[in-house]
């Protein structure tokens, strides 16, 4: 494509949101886990192939959702800008749909204790946190109750 293209609607939306919040593209990219160059390619909608020659860039939905989250863009705004795919992912990052949390909680409650512990341990590892030792908690609870 010849001539620098206009940014896509979602790129203009995110760029305007950054300006409203006084956030630079460099800092926003850092917060989203992207390079500044990649951020600018996705927001601008193009990358330079050679001097004066541009190739269209349409960022992956997950990446665009991270960018929108950093820029404080809502799923509805992202959808209105033509990226329903990223809007759905962003909505999922902001929390489950009403009723989904209750359904998931019931599934966990239906698990036996070992399955639930394994699930929690897996989640904790992925989040980089440690869980308290259930045996130590049980012993502390027994000491509080019975003074043993």
> SS3 of 104, please?
helix
- Joined together, the tokens standing for residue 47 give 């990358």
CA-to-CA distance for 91 and 49, rounded, in angstroms? 34
Q: pTM (2 decimals)?
A: 0.61
Per-residue pLDDT of the chain (148 residues; tens, 9 = 90+): 567 889 999 999 999 999 999 999 999 999 999 999 999 999 999 998 888 899 999 999 999 999 999 999 999 999 999 999 999 999 887 554 455 556 666 666 676 677 777 777 777 777 777 666 655 555 555 566 666 5
CA-to-CA distance for 115 and 104, rounded, in angstroms? 14
């Amino acid at each position: 494509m010849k001539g620098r293209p206009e940014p896509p609607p979602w790129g203009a939306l995110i760029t305007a949101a950054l300006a409203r919040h006084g956030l630079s593209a460099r800092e926003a990219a850092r917060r989203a886990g992207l390079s500044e160059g990649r951020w600018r390619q996705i927001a601008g909608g193009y990358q330079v192939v050679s001097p004066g020659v541009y190739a269209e860039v349409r960022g992956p939905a997950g990446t665009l959702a991270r960018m929108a989250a950093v820029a404080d863009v809502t799923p509805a705004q992202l959808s209105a800008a033509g990226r329903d795919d990223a809007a759905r992912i962003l909505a999922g990052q902001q929390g489950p749909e009403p009723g989904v949390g209750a359904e998931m909680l019931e599934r966990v409650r239906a698990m036996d204790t070992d399955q639930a512990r394994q699930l929690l341990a897996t989640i904790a590892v992925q989040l980089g946190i440690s869980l308290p030792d259930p045996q130590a908690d049980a012993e502390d609870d027994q000491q509080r109750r019975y003074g043993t």
